[in-house]
Structure 1
Amino acid sequence: MAPESLLVVGVGDIHGRFHRVESWLDALAEARGRAVDLVLAVGDVEAFRHADDHRRKAAKRAMPAEFAEYADGVRTMKRPLYFIAGNNEDFEALHDSPEGLQLAPNVHYLGRAGLKVLNGLRVGYLSGIHAPRFYEQPLKRPRSLDTAKQAGYFRAPEVEKVATLRDVDLMLVHEWPRGLPQRAREQGEPPPGRTLPSYWIGNPLTRRLVETIHPKWVMCGHSHKAFAVALGGHGGRTPTRVACLDQAARPDESVFWMEFQGREVVCAGWGISGEVSWRAGQPWGLGALPRPSEPGPVEAGY
């Protein structure tokens, strides 16, 4: 008997926009004609109860803060959503649970670093971004805006923990691995309407983790830009396919879905139309991205 298939959806930086993400998942489920089994968010979820919470960065207080309805039981997330931390979170609420916790029914924080088995898939994860000044420093309790900011940086023991992982189906990181634009250039010119970001985007430690662990897939956020590139694949090894997600302002490039058969992805696509943009056996790169859409209004950024 063939293994049961799974529909797994990655979502870019939510920044408090839980309502629209739920509506997008409804639309995708209808388009694919099946239920969404698992939702994975790549950080900057911002599960705050109030938009003007003093712990949020000033630039973020114009963003919605809809999580209170889920925490208070007014609304319930329809599908299990698991998220890593970015560099904009309610770190005071997350601090005492570095191995993860459930914040509301069907809303789960994975933790700062490690591996969880979700629906039979081995999911590795590293929360936060790289700040060299704080990399070797101990993590402080986030009692102020300054220490809350520092909580959004990953530390050396967390990177070392992730580096020991093997046989990883999917890895979640917030900040891009360094060198993705260079790798994309090696694989060919960007398609019409696409430009390569700065070669300095991302961090080298996450890149080193990907090269050490060799996960089958990586999803990341933070830079609010969709990107697709394959890393590795030397010596007969299957390459790691990296999907970078835009922030959750519009669904076309901030939603990336994968249909698994067992532990292997058989097809994948962007947005909520249900249209397949990649199938197993095809090359993975910028050509797998959706056609660039006309720019629309986007809320304040990071």
Structure 2
Amino acid sequence: MLVLGDAHAADPENRRALFAAYREADQDVTLQLGDLMYYDLPKPTWFIAGNNEDFDTISALRNGLVSNSEVRNANLLASTAVELEGLRIAGLSGNYAPTQYDRPRANLVGERRRHFTYEDIERATALESVDVLMTHEAPHGLPVSEDYEVGCQYIDDLLTVLDPDLCLIGHHHQHSETTIGTTRVVSLAPTWERYYILDPDSLSLTWVDMKEH
């Protein structure tokens, strides 16, 4: 199955790279790690919301309300799970903000809808038998280069409880890997740089650099 990092596909050039990845990979199922920003997609795609999205569209998808020509093949995972190609894949949408975490999701408005809340973590924690977890926020210990300390305790806790075999991380626009407990954790490069293929039997990831094409 195709796995894609951040897309930022509201930008036309990034959208061309996104569609090129779908075309070249030629997979039936796609996972995407947030900051998608364009929702009329060529193949069935399960994605998590990042901190850059059309949040009216994301809110509608959270509530199962979207049905229009600008949203096609886009399936949101928001503290929910899906069975795909023999794998149980769960997703936590949004990023962490300490000022918003303890608020009910219904009280988040405007751009603040980008964040996850305690309600989202509680629902995600209740998921069972997860093989692959997708998050936009990273756990502590992920070796990516940022000008701030990377890592969120709530993601740490989620990994401990769910104990997935693989955790896929968006947001940082760089490829990086580590192991936390028994979970392989992979931060994905953005779509305009690289796309990935996940083998559902072995959970191995291979990739193709877009700049080679």
Equivalence map 1:98-113=2 (5 Å): 98=62, 104-110=71-77, 112-113=78-79
TM-score by length of 2: 0.84
Find the counterpart in structure 2 of residue 225 from structure 1.
Answer: 174
Higher strand share: 2
State how far apart, in whole Å, the 1-side matches of 2:206 and 2:121 are. 30
Match of 2:199?
259
Per-residue CA deviation, residues 39-77 of structure 1 (Å, 9 max, x unaligned), is 111111012xxxxxxxxxxxxxxxxxxx5xx3xxxxx60
Gaps of 5+ in 2: none
Aligned pairs for 1:149-164 within 5 A: 149-164=111-126
Q: Is the 8 A contact 2:34 2:48 kept in 1?
A: yes
1:115-156 alpha-carbon deviations (Å, 9 max, x no partner): 1222332111100011111111123477xxxx3221011010
Alignment of 1:35-50 (within 5 A): 36-47=27-38
Q: Give, in whole Å, the separation in 1 of the partners of 2:175 and 2:135.
A: 14
Unpaired runs of 5+ residues, structure 1, are 1-7, 30-35, 48-66, 71-75, 182-195, 233-238, 274-292, 294-302
Paired residues, what number? 204
Q: Distance in 2 between matches of 1:228 and 1:164?
A: 26
Percent identical residues: 27
> d(CA) in 2 for partners of 1:248 and 1:141?
32
Residue equivalent to 1:23: 20
Misfit runs of 4+, over 4 Å: 99-103
Q: 1:80 aligns with which of 40, 44, 56?
A: 44
SS in 2 for 1:133: coil
TM-score, normalization: structure 1? 0.61
- 3-state SS, counterpart of residue 123 of structure 1: strand
RMSD: 2.5
Displacement of 1:243 in angstroms is: 1.2
* Structure of greater Rg: 1
What does residue 185 of structure 2 align with? Answer: 242
2:92 to 119, 126, 140: 126
**Quick check: 1:136–1:155 contact (8 Å CA) kept in 2?**
yes
On the 8 A contact 2:79/2:123 being kept in 1, the answer is yes
